[in-house]
Amino acid sequence: MKVKLDVEKISFRQGDGNLSAARQMEIAAGRIAGCQRVLRPGDPLGDLEKILALRGGGTPEGLLAPWPVHPPEPYRVKSVELRGHGCPPGDVRLEAIEEAGYNTFLLKEDKRVVIHIDLLTDSGTSAMSDLQWSAMLKGNEDYAGSRSYYPLEKAIQEVYGWQEVVPTHQGRGAEHIVSTIFIKPLLEQYPGDPIYVPKNMYFTTTKVHILRAGGVFRDIIIDQAHDSTAWHPFKGNIDLDKLQKLIDDCIARWGKVHGPRHIAYLHLEGCVNMAGGQPFSMENLKALRAVTQRHGIPLLLDATRLVENAYFIQQREEGYREMSVAAIVREMGSLTDGCTMSSKKDHLVNIGGFLALNDRDKAAKAREMLVDFEGFPTYGGMAGYSMEALTQGIRECIDDNWIAYRIGQTRYLGELLQDGGVPIVLPVGGHAVFIDAKKFLPHLPQEQFPAQALASAVYLHSGVRTMERGIVSAGRDKDSGSQHFPELELVRLTIPRRVYTQSHMDYVAEKIIELYRMRERINGLEIAWEPPAGSLRFFLMRFTPIGGRLIR
> For residues 527 and 447, what is the distance between their CA atoms, to the nearest angstrom?
10
Q: Which stretch binds ligand PLP (CB under 6 A): 29-37, 199-207, 401-409, 417-425?
A: 199-207
Least Å from the CB of residue 347 to ligand PLP? 10
> For residues 499 and 501, what is the distance between their CA atoms, to the nearest angstrom?
7
Catalytic residue status for 302: yes
Q: Which is nearer to ligand PLP, 68 or 171 (CB)?
A: 171
Strands (E), 209-270: 216-219, 266-269
Looking at the chain, the number of H-run helices and the number of E-run strands are: 19, 17
> For residues 75 and 79, what is the distance between their CA atoms, to the nearest angstrom?
12
Q: Which is nearer to ligand PLP, 353 or 450 (CB)?
A: 353
Residue 248 near residue 238, CB atoms below 8 Å: no
Residue 385 near residue 139, CB atoms below 8 Å: yes
Least Å from the CB of residue 346 to ligand PLP? 10
Which residue type, as a one-letter code, is found at position 21? A
Catalytic residue status for 385: no
Catalytic residue status for 47: no
Q: Which of 442, 446, 453 has its CA nearest to residue 491?
A: 453
Task: Please return the burial class of 157, using the count of CB atoms within 10 Å of its CB with bins 0-12, 13-18 and 19+.
Answer: middle
Q: Which residues contact 407 (CB under 8 A, 6 or more apart)?
A: 308, 311, 312, 430
Question: Considering only residues 126, 132, 281, 342, which one is a binding residue for ligand PLP as defined by CB under 6 A?
Answer: 342
Least Å from the CB of residue 352 to ligand PLP? 8
Sketch the per residue contact string, 430 through 469, with ligand PLP: x for CB under 6 A, - otherwise.
----------------------------------------
Report residue 39: phi and psi, to 5°.
-110, 145
> For residues 466 and 40, what is the distance between their CA atoms, to the nearest angstrom?
29
Q: Which is nearer to ligand PLP, 155 or 272 (CB)?
A: 272
Question: Considering only residues 153, 164, 302, 317, which one is a binding residue for ligand PLP as defined by CB under 6 A?
Answer: 302
Catalytic residue status for 330: no
Catalytic residue status for 312: no
Tell me which residues in 149-188 interact with ligand PLP (CB under 6 A).
170-172
Q: Which of 161, 84, 173 has its CA nearest to residue 353?
A: 173
Sign of the C-alpha dihedral, residues 35, 39, 44, 46? positive
Angle, vertex CA 504, rays to CA 500 and CA 507, nearest 5:
165
Least Å from the CB of residue 170 to ligand PLP? 3
Which helix (H) or strand (E) segment holds residue 248: the answer is: helix 240-258
Residue 535 near residue 472, CB atoms below 8 Å: no
Question: Considering only residues 153, 164, 239, 269, which one is a binding residue for ligand PLP as defined by CB under 6 A?
Answer: 269
Q: Which stretch binds ligand PLP (CB under 6 A): 201-209, 245-253, 403-411, 514-522?
A: 201-209
Residue 449 near residue 328, CB atoms below 8 Å: no
Catalytic residue status for 182: no
Tell me: does residue 304 bind ligand PLP (CB under 6 A).
yes
Sketch the per residue contact string, 212 through 251, with ligand PLP: x for CB under 6 A, - otherwise.
----------------------------------------
Question: Considering only residues 24, 103, 123, 456, which one is a binding residue for ligand PLP as defined by CB under 6 A?
Answer: 123
Tell me which residues in 344-403 interact with ligand PLP (CB under 6 A).
344, 353
Single out the catalytic residue among 180, 204, 292, 336.
204
Least Å from the CB of residue 389 to ligand PLP? 15
Least Å from the CB of residue 206 to ligand PLP? 5
Is the bond preceding 442 in cis, omega lying within 30 degrees of 0? no
Question: Considering only residues 180, 228, 273, 309, which one is a binding residue for ligand PLP as defined by CB under 6 A?
Answer: 273
Single out the catalytic residue among 12, 160, 203, 412.
203
Residue 463 near residue 117, CB atoms below 8 Å: yes
Single out the catalytic residue among 235, 395, 465, 469.
469
Q: Which stretch binds ligand PLP (CB under 6 A): 43-51, 198-206, 412-420, 454-462?
A: 198-206
Single out the catalytic residue among 13, 31, 142, 143.
143
Single out the catalytic residue among 385, 434, 516, 538.
538
Least Å from the CB of residue 140 to ligand PLP? 23
User: Could you count the other beta carbons within 10 Å of the beta carbon of residue 111?
Assistant: 8
Residue 240 near residue 268, CB atoms below 8 Å: no
Q: Which stretch binds ligand PLP (CB under 6 A): 80-88, 203-211, 277-285, 366-374?
A: 203-211
Catalytic residue status for 143: yes
Residue 277 near residue 305, CB atoms below 8 Å: yes
The residue of the chain with the least Cβ separation from ligand PLP equals 171
Q: Which is nearer to ligand PLP, 239 or 269 (CB)?
A: 269
Strands (E), 10-160: 38-39, 64-66, 117-118
Tell me: does residue 207 bind ligand PLP (CB under 6 A).
no
Residue 380 near residue 374, CB atoms below 8 Å: yes
Tell me: does residue 511 bind ligand PLP (CB under 6 A).
no
DSSP symbol at 220:
-
Angle, vertex CA 243, rays to CA 240 and CA 245, nearest 5:
110
Count of residues interacting with ligand PLP (CB under 6 A)? 14
Which residue type, as a one-letter code, is found at position 131? L
Q: Which is nearer to ligand PLP, 122 or 153 (CB)?
A: 122
Site for ligand PLP, rule CB under 6 A: 123, 170-172, 203, 205-206, 269, 273, 302, 304, 342, 344, 353
The residues annotated as belonging to the active site are 143, 203-204, 302, 345, 469, 538
